[in-house]
Amino acid sequence: MREIVLDTETTGLSPLGGDRMVEIGCVELYNRVETGRTFHAYFNPCRTMPAGAEAVHGLSDVFLSDKPLFGDICEELLAFLEDTPIVAHNAPFDFGFLNHELALCSRDLVCMTRMIDTLPIARQRLPGAKHSLDALCTRFGVDRSIRIKHGALIDAQLLAQVYVELTGGRQIGLGLAAEAVAGPVETVTKDIPAASWSRTPRPHAASADELARHGEFLKNLSEPLWAEDTPAG
């Protein structure tokens, strides 16, 4: 099964309040294993970057000034996403900004039924724990040393590893990937009648010749243990 793990960076918290997406990162999974295919882009938001947002992701007005508009590469992004389920942490936030940008380009919105939100998954599996991406990386031993600031592609790559752990661990993903390559593994005995699983045991009694040779062998043993008198109990 193909899935896309997605993360965005924005100018703020509210697309309806005028905030815009400035970065998107996507990581392709197939049967919970990263394929190596990614999509990553920065966008010129056509507005100034608030200092608070820049402190989070480090994307300045100067850096974004020569980047394309979302509409310039919208079709390329949609071609990568296809109709695949989309995984995100606090997914309604990312879906809200993605659909806002699509609406500004007069494109169809991404259906919310495609959304897989890892935040409620983490809350259900780890009640009472911290559920930020940093905290989940620490809990599952995911190396986040490269995450100096928030970055859409880096965060999507980290979330992909966390998502695998939240939904069963690496071994499940590896098993599914092997199945995808080799085809479903069938149990050879699944259609064999139960009666045929056993067979008539072969005889194990010694022949007369074997008994005679064993007797001759015993005559050559000196002071065998079984010939000693057994002490009274």
Q: Please state, in angstroms and as integers, the Cα–Cα distance from residue 112 to each residue in 95, 97, 115, 180, following that order.
A: 8, 13, 5, 27
Contact 132, 118 (CB under 8 A): no
CA distance 157 to 34: 9
Which two structure tokens, joined as six digits, stand for 118?
């890892």
CA distance 47 to 40: 21
- Is 150 considered catalytic here? yes
Q: Which of 131, 150, 204, 214 is catalytic?
A: 150
Q: Which run of H or of E encompasses 80?
A: helix 74-81
* Catalytic annotation, residues: 150
